[in-house]
Structure 1
Amino acid sequence: MIFPDQAVRIVIATKPVDFRKGHDGLAAMAHAELGFAPKAGVMVVFRSKRGDRIRFCSGTAVAS
C-alpha cells in the first residue's frame, strides 16, 4: 500500500494508457500530456485501456 503525505497533489489521467510503457513511459506521458512531472508532492493515477486496472506513479514509487 502507498500512504501519501497529506501535502501530496493527486492528478487523475482520464485517457486510458498502455501499461506496457512501464514507469518511465508513464512518467514521460504525465509530463508531456498533463504537464506534471511525477516528483515528490505529485501523484498521477492512470487507468488501463481495458479499464480493469489502475497504476499510481509518483516520484518515489509505482504501484499497480
Structure 2
Amino acid sequence: MVHERMGCSVRNGDVFIFIGSSRKLMKLLHAEDGGLVMYVKRLEAGHFKVPAYDEKSRSYPMEWRDLVIMVEGIRESPGQRLRRLRAERNVYTV
C-alpha cells in the first residue's frame, strides 16, 4: 500500500499511519535496522482525531509531537484530554 498507493518507500525513515474507518484502530509502520516494525493501538473508549488532509501531498502530514498528541488524546485546550481507558499497571519487585 505504501509503495503502490502512496508512491513512497517504507525504508525512507518516515512513519506511516493507518487509521480504521471507525477511528478506533491505528497502525504505525516504519523501518528499523533489520526489518519493518508495526505498532497497533485499539481504543476501548473514544476515537482518534484525524488531522487535516493535504491535497498536494495526498496525505495527512504531521510532526512527531502531533502523533503523540493524537495517540495520547490531548486536545488543543490546556489540561483537556479525550476519553481514554486507563491501563492497569502492576508493579513487581524482585
Answer 1 or 2: which has greater strand percent: 1
Q: What's the TM-score bracket when you normalise by the shorter of the two chains?
A: 0.3 to 0.5
Could you tell me the TM-score, scaled by structure 1's length?
0.48
Could you tell me the TM-score, scaled by structure 2's length?
0.34
